[in-house]
Every structure is written in C-alpha cells, then in structure tokens.
C-alpha cells in the first residue's frame, strides 16, 4: 500500500493538453488517485497562486510543471513550484524544451508584439496591452535552464500511460528513466536502405501504409525522436514530427536531423535545401528554444 503523497500540478504558458492527456486516463486514474493528495491544480479546481505560495518549502512530494515561461508570472510560478516541491517534474515538451511556442525565439519580442497586436490581418484598432497583464519575457528560456528538475517527461503531450508510469514510479520510490531508443525502434513499418531522391509533403502522392514513410520521401523524424509514444503517428501512416524531442544521447535535435538527412539523401544540396522552406519549424517542432541556434541568438542579443 503506497502512502498518500501531496501533489501539485502547475500550468505555465501552454495549451493545457498535458492535463487533458492525464484526464484521458479515465478509470485508470483510479490506479493512482487514492495515493494522491492534490494541493494545487488550477486546471481542474479553483486554486489561487496564493494557495501555493503559502505552503512550506518542500511540503509537496511531487510537483508537475506544464508549459514554458513566456511571462514574468510564469517564471515566478516555476520558481515557487521548485521551492515547494521535493520532486519536480518537467511535464511535456513545453516544460522540457520550451514547446511549440519556442519557435517564436526566431524573432525579437518587439517584432512579435507588433505582429500579434498591431499588424495581424484581423485587427482593426490595434494596441499593445500594458495594463493588468504580466510582462512578457524577451524570449523563451527552457524551464530546465531556469530551475533544476528531478525528472523530465517529454511529449506533446506525453501519452496518458507515460504520465501514469512516471507517477506510479514516483509514488513507489522507483526510478523512472527515459529510454535511449527512437520512434523507429518502436515502428512496425517495413524499411529499406535509404536513398531518398525527392521529399514530398503528406498531401502529395499516395502513402503506402505498410512501408517506412521516410523511404517513401515523407519527412518522418522517427529516427531522431525518443521512442516513448509507441510510434503512434507512423503506425497510422502519418509522419512523425518529432514532438517528443530527441533521445537522451542526442544534444541538439535539429542538428541530428540535418546530419542524418544529409547522409540518406541522394540529391544535390540545393534541391535538399529547397525541400524544406521552413527548416526550423520542420526540424525543431517543440524544441527550438533549447537548440544551440536559439541559445546562440539569445547570447548575441544579450551582448548587444
């Protein structure tokens, strides 16, 4: 019998899809719910920040942080979660790498505000809000560069089972290690030696649902993406976009992808380059904020 543990689930800038995936466990939630004393979960119950701030240091056994820091309020909440939690989990690819919103690190904050509040086509009387809003951060710095975490669980979102497995391990004081495997290792598709002569968008041609999508010229990133999701996209004939990020032994997801594509492509460099009009969006779907490119840009901006 596991002793009840105090848990807090906090949301920074995010879509809250990681919460949704947890709730999608439905009756399987009963495997862990009786062992959890929920002390903060504003996605589900009307907790206020003050409820969290007034808890004692390390009084939460397990803290789950979803989302990344786009506002000063996010940074405050992240630091409070670190202070109050014994075991802090970076929950989902937003929390581990910065998430899809990290792609905004390709632009300066002023350019983003300008586009979002003044120039977007649907706005007629644009203004940048200044009152009663938390200040925006200059860029998205990955949570893991702001505070220390005890466990990271990537995924956009992590599957319901991933979260259940991690929670069960923590509740039973067992380790939860990420596998150094890729989506390809979990994928049932037939594959051949790769000599790709042309890349295609998913709406081009007809996908053979039994054969490796990359062999067919569709950009499937399973070869560079951690194998945690059970290859749920390629096994439904949909290319992997790499939403879980790289396996632990890969430092920079996009760099790994570019190097592998160079090795398996049988085409001139110019044609390969032209195949990917949005290389950052294609190769760093959820983890651009934690890439070398983004960090170099941030350092250059700070040095200006």
Binding site for ligand SF4 (CB under 6 A): 14-18, 66-67, 92-94, 99-100, 156-157, 183-184, 187, 189, 191, 212-214, 220, 222-223, 225, 229, 231-234, 240-244
Question: Shortest Cβ distance from residue 142 to ligand SF4 (Å)?
Answer: 12
Tell me how far apart the alpha carbons of residues 144 and 81 are, in angstroms, rounded to a whole number: 13
Burial zone of 89 (CB within 10 Å; 0-12 exposed, 13-18 middle, 19+ buried): buried
Please, which residue, 16 or 107, has the CB nearer to ligand SF4? Answer: 16
Could you tell me how far CA 101 lies from the centroid of its own chain? 9
- The residue number whose beta carbon is nearest to ligand SF4 equals 222
Question: Shortest Cβ distance from residue 2 to ligand SF4 (Å)?
Answer: 26
Tell me how far apart the alpha carbons of residues 201 and 22 are, in angstroms, rounded to a whole number: 32
Please, which residue, 114 or 161, has the CB nearer to ligand SF4? Answer: 161
Question: Shortest Cβ distance from residue 62 to ligand SF4 (Å)?
Answer: 18
Burial zone of 84 (CB within 10 Å; 0-12 exposed, 13-18 middle, 19+ buried): buried
Tell me how far apart the alpha carbons of residues 194 and 153 are, in angstroms, rounded to a whole number: 31
Integer CA distances (angstroms), 182 to 96, 120, 160, 230, 246, in order: 17, 39, 19, 10, 8
Q: Which tokens hold the place of 132?
A: 């009663």
Please, which residue, 93 or 282, has the CB nearer to ligand SF4? Answer: 93
Please, which residue, 40 or 244, has the CB nearer to ligand SF4? Answer: 244
Please, which residue, 84 or 241, has the CB nearer to ligand SF4? Answer: 241
Please, which residue, 77 or 240, has the CB nearer to ligand SF4? Answer: 240
Please, which residue, 63 or 67, has the CB nearer to ligand SF4? Answer: 67
Question: Shortest Cβ distance from residue 6 to ligand SF4 (Å)?
Answer: 23
Tell me how far apart the alpha carbons of residues 148 and 47 are, in angstroms, rounded to a whole number: 25
Question: Shortest Cβ distance from residue 278 to ligand SF4 (Å)?
Answer: 16
* Strand partners for 90: 65, 152
Whose CA is closest to 214, among 164, 257, 268? 257
Contacts of 284 (CB under 8 A, 6+ apart): 102, 103, 242, 253, 254, 291, 293
Question: Shortest Cβ distance from residue 163 to ligand SF4 (Å)?
Answer: 10
Q: Which tokens hold the place of 245?
A: 């990020």
Please, which residue, 35 or 71, has the CB nearer to ligand SF4? Answer: 71
Integer CA distances (angstroms), 256 to 193, 219, 227, 251, 262, in order: 19, 14, 15, 8, 10
Question: Shortest Cβ distance from residue 240 to ligand SF4 (Å)?
Answer: 3
Question: Shortest Cβ distance from residue 68 to ligand SF4 (Å)?
Answer: 8
């Amino acid at each position: 019998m596991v002793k009840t543990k105090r848990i807090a689930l906090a949301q920074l800038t995010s879509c809250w899809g990681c919460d949704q995936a947890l709730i999608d466990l439905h009756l399987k939630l009963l495997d862990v719910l009786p062992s959890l004393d929920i002390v903060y979960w504003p996605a589900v119950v009307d907790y206020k920040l003050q409820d969290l701030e007034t808890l004692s240091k390390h009084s939460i056994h397990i803290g789950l942080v979803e989302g990344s820091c786009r506002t000063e309020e996010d940074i405050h909440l992240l630091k409070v979660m670190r202070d109050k939690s014994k075991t802090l989990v970076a929950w989902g690819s937003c929390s581990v790498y910065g998430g899809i919103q990290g792609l905004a690190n390709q632009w300066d904050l002023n350019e983003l505000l300008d586009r979002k509040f003044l120039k977007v086509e649907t706005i007629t009387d644009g203004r940048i809000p200044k009152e009663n809003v938390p200040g925006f951060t200059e860029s998205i710095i990955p949570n893991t560069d702001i505070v220390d975490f005890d466990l990271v669980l990537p995924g956009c979102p992590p599957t319901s089972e991933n979260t259940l497995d991690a929670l069960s391990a923590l509740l039973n004081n067992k380790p939860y290690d990420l596998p150094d495997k890729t989506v390809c290792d979990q994928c049932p598709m037939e594959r051949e030696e790769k000599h790709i002569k042309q890349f295609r968008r998913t709406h081009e041609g007809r996908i053979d649902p039994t054969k490796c999508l990359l062999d067919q010229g569709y950009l499937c990133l399973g070869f560079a993406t951690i194998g945690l999701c059970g290859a749920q996209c390629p096994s439904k004939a949909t290319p992997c976009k790499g939403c879980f990020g790289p396996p632990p032994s890969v430092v920079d997801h996009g760099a790994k992808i570019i190097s592998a594509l160079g090795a398996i492509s049988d085409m001139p460099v110019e044609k390969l380059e032209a195949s990917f009009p949005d290389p950052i969006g294609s190769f760093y779907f959820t983890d651009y904020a934690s890439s070398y490119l983004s960090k170099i840009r941030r350092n250059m901006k700070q040095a200006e």
